[in-house]
A and B are shown apart, each in its own frame.
Chain A
């Protein structure tokens, strides 16, 4: 699986123009709501909504495909493993040795997987449509020191870079006869050592070079306060969206507490 050179999909859509703080609020508030709810239909609805938002912002389909491939393993693993750890007392549907599977387990497993996907996509909406500078600005506005904000955004910037370096490392080792076992997981895991060691060294080298490059660009020059060339301004629309988000997700949480909405996987 190849990774795009950066998570951000450049554009000038309505979603790109929404204030980064509002988009962060979308991710955080929805995550909070999905933590307290467990309803499969609601998660599905939310995922559809996220896709509509991303597509209307002209985020390329390939990027969405990439996101799905990223969360696919966990999306499959949760429902498969759910019956193993559940203790539901429903009528038993199927027995596999010591594991008994019930309808409850199946729906619950699917709901848990959908919850993880929903939370992931809430953040993908933010990551795919917010450029790094805006992210840092948003963090700074929220009271986080500029250096920390820069650190987070640089980390995001370098994830794809390190990933593509990892692919190059694995290519180089395969060219030296490394075969990754498809049948023996222990051997397969060991085969990754020649891939991971160069990555670790590379990551340290990159970090070292990066810190020098930052200094060479007058980062942290004494007695100077940094100019923010770009400013964030909450527009009326941003404000309205924020109020709507608080009402929607706050309402969902309140409904869960008060009336038990979305308590089970199917309602």
Chain B
């Protein structure tokens, strides 16, 4: 592959395709620091990465890692940004000038004296970019810069990246965020199993929806719609789609057909499985994270919990399995007051899927890892055998059962943690940002699993920023400043876009398109959009 000077290249691909390895190869960390076998050559600004030490290549290639925690090791933002130039032995005035400039570009001047460890996820990512930028590299390599950011932080990040692009910086950006690529990239490269499988301008690459989906790669929502409706040429932006649809340039029925609309089976008449009664919680020396939360979740309900970062979503969720207990008010789980039960005991009822698989994987084999939960529940051997077997089969892990889970790929480790929850057969399933760091295929696998448990009678609580996931739920809870400020059916929530904005949540691009076309119900998903469009056009076989 080649990257031109001043070009913006987006690199996409499923989890484990070799995207991060590609980033590390660009500044020589692969193979100099990682070892392994390496064949062929990488030339960066005329330097062979095998012949020049990483620390020297760092002045040409600024690599920003995905993990902020391990690349911010100074005590203040300013020290962090000056660290690189100091290592280059530049004069003090030059260092200060560069730090000042980099802080300004990333909008961090106000935060210069703060400790990077205290900043929000989005701010930390920006500090990491500034720290690399201060070395004035000609090439900027960004590994998943928007992953895990809330919608506002994501937009701020994209605007900064756009600015750098316009200043003529060469950028290589690895991402799963297809909607982020459309406005920025000159060229998209898709990797699978370490090989380039697709390459070209976004318009062209995102036209191959079927192929990308088969690979597990996401496409921009508008591109998916355009494919479904057979719009030619394929469009990428809301504007293009608006033009095409205004010309009535689409076909029916949509490619791939339409799935049945899921029916809501929540039984409001049964006693709530989780209820909060005026619950208050404050972290030691911290903010009031819950300020009088009141809500009830019925068995077999599917609830999305949304809200900006710091609004108390995770705190609320941790009250649902007794990891936290209210300091005032009370929380009942399956009829038990959480103050009288330990989290370990409540685990019988409530399964919690955490974001980071490495915060729990410890057993010597995958089998043992999955058996840990059922064992804690005190089940007999036969039952444990049965449950582990079924959990392994559900996630296609049977052939890996005897391997140490810590050595599996990131995607597989995530699946192991899901299987571990599956084996406990919870009545309530809590998913904390399940799509972060996962490709499309794995995200679909997680949500389908949740839907299956839901269909089998479990209540599901989905914490997410991603409205494309949130629409899976039938009920929407909006958290603001430690309170549930809105509790409505999902359809109703989506019909009021101004609420999305107030909640710091970005409506999917398709909502904007639906509004511009004057569709009666605002359609949150591609499927709903197709239905709404067809209904308006008077197609008969919509239902």
Q: Does chain B have a CB within 8 A of A84? A: no
**Contact, CB under 8 Å: A132 / B55:** no
Q: 6 additional contacts, CB 8 Å, given A175-B323, A180-B344, A224-B89?
A: A4-B285, A154-B73, A171-B343, A195-B362, A213-B65, A229-B82
Q: Does chain B have a CB within 8 A of A187? A: no
**Contact, CB under 8 Å: A227 / B73:** no
What distance in Å separates the Cβ of A217 from its nearest Cβ neighbour in chain B?
4
**Contact, CB under 8 Å: B373 / A176:** yes
Question: Total interface residues on B, using CB and 8 Å?
Answer: 73
Q: Which of A38-46, A85-93, A199-207 contacts B (4 or more CB under 8 A)?
A: A199-207
Once A211-B33, A221-B55, A221-B59 are accepted as A-B contacts, the answer to whether A176 and B89 lie under 8 Å apart by CB is no
Q: Does chain A have a CB within 8 A of B522? A: no
Q: Does chain A have a CB within 8 A of B365? A: no
Q: Does chain B have a CB within 8 A of A36? A: no
Which residues of B does A touch, CB under 8 Å? 24, 27, 29, 33, 53-56, 58-59, 62-63, 65, 67, 69-71, 73-76, 79, 82-92, 95-96, 113, 115, 117-118, 131-132, 135, 283-285, 318, 321, 323, 342-345, 347-348, 350-352, 354, 356, 358-363, 372-373, 376-377, 406, 420-421, 424
**Contact, CB under 8 Å: A177 / B95:** no
Q: Does chain B have a CB within 8 A of A133? A: yes
**Contact, CB under 8 Å: B96 / A224:** no
What distance in Å separates the Cβ of A132 from its nearest Cβ neighbour in chain B?
4
- The closest CB in chain A to the CB of B343 belongs to A174
Partner of B342, one of A4, A174, A209, A214: A174
**Contact, CB under 8 Å: B373 / A177:** yes
What are the residues of chain B within 8 A of A190 when measuring CB–CB?
none
**Contact, CB under 8 Å: A133 / B377:** no
**Contact, CB under 8 Å: A157 / B69:** no
User: In the complex, what distance in Å separates the CA atom of A201 from the CA atom of B357?
Assistant: 12
Once A178-B344, A202-B358 are accepted as A-B contacts, the answer to whether A216 and B376 lie under 8 Å apart by CB is no
What are the residues of chain A within 8 A of B132 when measuring CB–CB?
216-217
What are the residues of chain A within 8 A of B90 when measuring CB–CB?
227
What are the residues of chain B within 8 A of A10 when measuring CB–CB?
76, 113, 115
Q: Does chain B have a CB within 8 A of A219? A: yes
Q: Which of A105-113, A161-169, A250-258 contacts B (4 or more CB under 8 A)?
A: A161-169
User: In the complex, what distance in Å separates the CA atom of A5 from the CA atom of B116?
Assistant: 10
What are the residues of chain A within 8 A of B361 when measuring CB–CB?
198, 201
User: In the complex, what distance in Å separates the CA atom of A198 from the CA atom of B65?
Assistant: 22
What are 8 A-B interface contacts by the 8 Å CB criterion? A133-B79, A153-B75, A175-B347, A176-B420, A177-B377, A211-B33, A221-B55, A229-B95
**Contact, CB under 8 Å: B53 / A221:** yes
Q: Does chain B have a CB within 8 A of A183? A: no
**Contact, CB under 8 Å: A218 / B358:** no
**Contact, CB under 8 Å: B84 / A218:** yes
- The closest CB in chain B to the CB of A173 belongs to B360
**Contact, CB under 8 Å: B87 / A157:** no
Once A198-B361, A229-B92 are accepted as A-B contacts, the answer to whether A6 and B377 lie under 8 Å apart by CB is no
**Contact, CB under 8 Å: B87 / A218:** yes
Q: Does chain B have a CB within 8 A of A131? A: yes
Partner of A2, one of B24, B283, B359: B283
Once A8-B115, A165-B359, A215-B58 are accepted as A-B contacts, the answer to whether A172 and B354 lie under 8 Å apart by CB is yes
**Contact, CB under 8 Å: A217 / B352:** no
**Contact, CB under 8 Å: A217 / B76:** no
Closest 8 pairs (CB-CB, A-B): A177-B376, A179-B344, A197-B362, A177-B347, A209-B70, A213-B71, A132-B75, A221-B55
**Contact, CB under 8 Å: B360 / A172:** yes
**Contact, CB under 8 Å: B27 / A216:** yes
User: In the complex, what distance in Å separates the CA atom of A72 from the CA atom of B86?
Assistant: 41
Once A172-B354, A198-B360, A205-B358 are accepted as A-B contacts, the answer to whether A132 and B65 lie under 8 Å apart by CB is no
Q: Does chain B have a CB within 8 A of A212? A: yes
Residues in A203-243 with C-beta less than 8 Å from chain B: 205-206, 209-222, 224-229
What distance in Å separates the Cβ of A97 from its nearest Cβ neighbour in chain B?
34
What are the residues of chain A within 8 A of B59 when measuring CB–CB?
218, 221
Once A171-B323, A176-B424, A221-B88 are accepted as A-B contacts, the answer to whether A215 and B356 lie under 8 Å apart by CB is no
Once A174-B343, A176-B347 are accepted as A-B contacts, the answer to whether A221 and B377 lie under 8 Å apart by CB is no
**Contact, CB under 8 Å: B359 / A198:** yes
**Contact, CB under 8 Å: B58 / A221:** yes
**Contact, CB under 8 Å: B53 / A178:** no
What are the residues of chain A within 8 A of B344 when measuring CB–CB?
174, 177-180
What are the residues of chain B within 8 A of A217 when measuring CB–CB?
58, 71, 83-84, 87, 131-132, 135
User: In the complex, what distance in Å separates the CA atom of A174 from the CA atom of B324?
Assistant: 11
**Contact, CB under 8 Å: B87 / A224:** yes
**Contact, CB under 8 Å: B342 / A218:** no
What are the residues of chain A within 8 A of B67 when measuring CB–CB?
209
What are the residues of chain B within 8 A of A178 when measuring CB–CB?
344, 347, 372, 376
Residue interface mask A49-88, B partner, CB < 8 A = 1: 0000000000010100000000000000000000000000
